[in-house]
Chains A and B, each alone.
Chain A
Amino acid sequence: MNGFKNANGKAVLLKMVKCIQENKDYLGEVDGLIGDGDHGMNMNKGFTVFEKRFKDEDISFTEGLSELGMILLNEIGGSMGPIYGTIFMEMAEAGDGLEDIGSGGLADMLQAGLSGLYDIVDAKVGDKTLVDTLAPAADALRQAKDSGKDFTAALGEMKKAARAGRDSTKDMVAKFGRSSRLGERSRGVLDAGATSCCVILEALADGICELQ
């Protein structure tokens, strides 16, 4: 597989929705350890609204991403609304004209999402946030493409990096968000944002593979 058709991409988004819904309680638990426990609920709420509104609509992958981003920005509040909202909307804009999306296109989109994020937050890799999942995942996808791997393999690399990134947050001390107040006490527990980002990226990869 070299890529997927943007126009057929709705199913990928719906896969992302399903995975968030399935992980609602888990995300809530993770967030409860060093946060306030509402991450699962809030993400589920936003993603489910998107599903309700668009599952029967004829939309492309990038159109859907944009809609999803706006819903998250406008309807879930908290810090994750603007953060995921920005990421998805920037991704959508970067991929807007593409008919086929492959490793390169997707890598560009992820990079755009990351840049958009850096415009509104100060977090970097190592600060125990979703950046610790997203940045390595974007890098891994780019590198896999540059070393000539095919799309499926590249997506596999992206997933692996996402998981590793998420797991790396466990031993970090949080620098942002609620858990940053806890200092050393935030160590030993995963970051909720990094966890949900990993769920999303894995669902994205799996959804794309299932299109074949």
Chain B
Amino acid sequence: MKKIINSPDNVVSEMMEGYISAYRRYYEKHPDVNGVILKQRRRDKVALVIGGGSGHEPMFSGFVGKGLADAAACGNIFASPDPNTVYETAKAVNQGKGVIFVYGCYAGDNLNFDMGEEFLNDDGIQTAHVRVRDDVASAPKERIEDRRGIAGDVFVVKIAGAACDAGLSLEEVTRITEKARDNTRTIGVATAPAQLPGIDKPIFELPEGEIEYGMGLHGERGVLRTTWQDADVLVEKMYAQIMEDAELKAGDEVCVLVNGLGSTTVTELAIAYRAVKKLLDNAGIKVYDTDLNSYCTSQEMGGFSITLFKLDEELKRYYDMPCYCPFYAKGELTGGSLLEREEEDLSEKEPEFDKADIESTEIVRSKEGILSELNAADARNMLIYIADKIIARKPYLTEIDSAIGDGDHGIGMAGGMQKAKQELLKMEGEENVYAVFEAAGRAMLLSMGGASGVIFGSLYLAGAKDMESKSVLTAKDIFRMERKSLEAIQERGKAKVGDKTMVDALVPAVDAMEKCSGAGLLEMLKAAETAAAQGVEATKKYQARFGRAKSLMERAVGYQDAGATSVWLILQGMREFVEDQME
């Protein structure tokens, strides 16, 4: 696979040039060695220097920042930096309070950083180091110092950066960073190998249907090769392996990092996390914070790792401290201060809208027989009735939309109506009719997304918004409300009759309402329903001017529009409720 490089020999130097130039607000390069240095460094603190191979971006140079590392010593793609780079980089950021090194435990890094430290010590500079060794697959517990450092780097660097920023002594920074290191456990799987720039083939071959378990961060093969499994199965295995090793029990609190190795999508990381979260919930372990991202990669390796970082009160304080670099940020601006809600609160969220157990509600009317006006209670029940009607018609709407759209109109409308219904159920006792329409419309608008959300939400919302409170609506009131909604929709969406949209049903319906508003509520709604039905039929003739069907051009002719169909169903529902002829 070709890469976007020039000569393979210059990959690292050109990468550094481009990278530092891009982020010149924050970074500068050491004049003599491959060291990335933070420009605005806090004075009078222990200097934090991290480093390793350059092929793990954004780790390590991407974790130089405020509240993070002062500098990164960079080696070749998968090689540690040399002792001179370590020495010069550290010297450049030393403030006289000592230097702490955080890096992954690997033979090369250990050797080179040790040598670099010796040179610094010769110069009278005090140093310490904490080697990250979070990969549980790389060595058994008895040889924990042999384990390699992978994505757990993130947590250890975060804590070290915060401790340094807080002005602690080298001894204290080291103690806290070691604790963070000892509290971190990771395991990874690879689904596709990495490739070094300049070498035309990947580092190893991984046949289809196989995954590599417990591989490292350098594209090298792992400890075990096994067959592909569904995400939930894979995660369960990985989780079991971490839990065997970590000392976590119910009541503990962790941060979780699901880290992509380079070519794995956030979609996949999120699906993996979903499984992790369930397992943690079952174990009674609380999650304080999570990241789904590719922080510690291996070029374009496919796969991911799961890291669990156990918090205690002290570590939590340092975790919450603000930090910023172009690739990673924590603290007030990133929502840290918003986390006041208890976990219980979040778990009371409304159920997903396409669950099979949609409850049917008892629809209540203020009296038997035909209604001639709508009070708030009736409006509320009417809209609930309409919601149930649309939800029941989801398959029908899906079918219509599949012919010329992408088939999601049914799901979208059912979902929006479900949310509207949930809002309406809470509004027993509401006396303002407009408030009922507004709440339903808002619920649909906020939950549906896409163009449909705005448009169908507006169908209820736009006409009702900013109207003076009324406890009963007449036919004329309802017509005026629908006219206002239609105007808003046309203003928003710019569609006209003939464009094959919901407007093709709504315009004739509202025009009919105008004509018949004096004839009584039921007559008006009957006229509106009939006009809407005719509008739906008419859409069959048109080419679409909006939405997905637009690209079909003439091929859309002959099919009715799903949005127009929904409009007709809503008006039919209104008429059925008012007439006491509900399904």
User: Given contacts A28-B199, A37-B203, is CB(A82)–CB(B83) below 8 Å?
Assistant: yes
Complex contact B82–A80 (CB within 8 A): no
Q: Please indicate the chain B residues that have their CB under 8 angstroms from the CB of A32 in the complex.
A: 203-204
Closest residue of A by beta carbon distance from B111:
A82
B353 contacts the other chain (CB 8 A): no
What CA separation (Å) do A176 and B111 show in the bound complex? 12
User: Given contacts A32-B204, A36-B78, A42-B79, is CB(A181)–CB(B216) below 8 Å?
Assistant: yes
Binary per-residue interface labels of chain A (82-97) against chain B in the complex, 1 for a CB within 8 Å, 0 otherwise: 1100000000000000
A194 contacts the other chain (CB 8 A): no
User: Given contacts A36-B203, A181-B139, is CB(A77)–CB(B75) below 8 Å?
Assistant: yes
Complex contact A178–B80 (CB within 8 A): no
Q: Please indicate the chain B residues that have their CB under 8 angstroms from the CB of A73 in the complex.
A: 82-84
Minimum CB–CB distance from B445 to chain A (whole Å) comes to 52
Minimum CB–CB distance from B400 to chain A (whole Å) comes to 55
Binary per-residue interface labels of chain B (72-89) against chain A in the complex, 1 for a CB within 8 Å, 0 otherwise: 000111111111110000
Complex contact B78–A79 (CB within 8 A): no
What CA separation (Å) do A38 and B85 show in the bound complex? 19
Complex contact A77–B221 (CB within 8 A): no
A76 contacts the other chain (CB 8 A): yes
Task: How many A-B residue pairs have C-beta atoms within 8 angstroms? Tell me.
Answer: 105
Minimum CB–CB distance from B227 to chain A (whole Å) comes to 17
Interface residues on B, range: 35 or more
What CA separation (Å) do A57 and B203 show in the bound complex? 38
Q: Please indicate the chain B residues that have their CB under 8 angstroms from the CB of A180 in the complex.
A: 146
Interface residues on A, range: 20 to 34
Complex contact B221–A185 (CB within 8 A): yes
B107 contacts the other chain (CB 8 A): yes
> Which residues of chain B from 120 to 140 have a CB within 8 Å of any chain A CB?
137-139
What CA separation (Å) do A185 and B212 show in the bound complex? 12
> Which residues of chain A from 49 to 87 have a CB within 8 Å of any chain B CB?
73-83
Which of A38, A41, A80, A176 gathers most chain B CB within 10 Å? Answer: A38
Binary per-residue interface labels of chain A (25-41) against chain B in the complex, 1 for a CB within 8 Å, 0 otherwise: 00010001111111001
Q: Please indicate the chain A residues that have their CB under 8 angstroms from the CB of B199 in the complex.
A: 28, 37, 41
Complex contact A36–B218 (CB within 8 A): yes
B416 contacts the other chain (CB 8 A): no
Q: Please indicate the chain A residues that have their CB under 8 angstroms from the CB of B107 in the complex.
A: 79, 176-178
User: Given contacts A182-B221, A182-B223, is CB(A38)–CB(B146) below 8 Å?
Assistant: no
> Which residues of chain B from 89 to 145 have a CB within 8 Å of any chain A CB?
106-108, 111-112, 115, 137-139
Complex contact B198–A36 (CB within 8 A): no
Complex contact A36–B83 (CB within 8 A): no
A183 contacts the other chain (CB 8 A): yes
What CA separation (Å) do A180 and B107 show in the bound complex? 10
Complex contact B108–A79 (CB within 8 A): yes
What CA separation (Å) do A179 and B216 show in the bound complex? 10
Enumerate the 3 nearest inter-chain pairs by beta-carbon distance, A residue then B residue, closest first: A78-B79, A79-B108, A36-B218
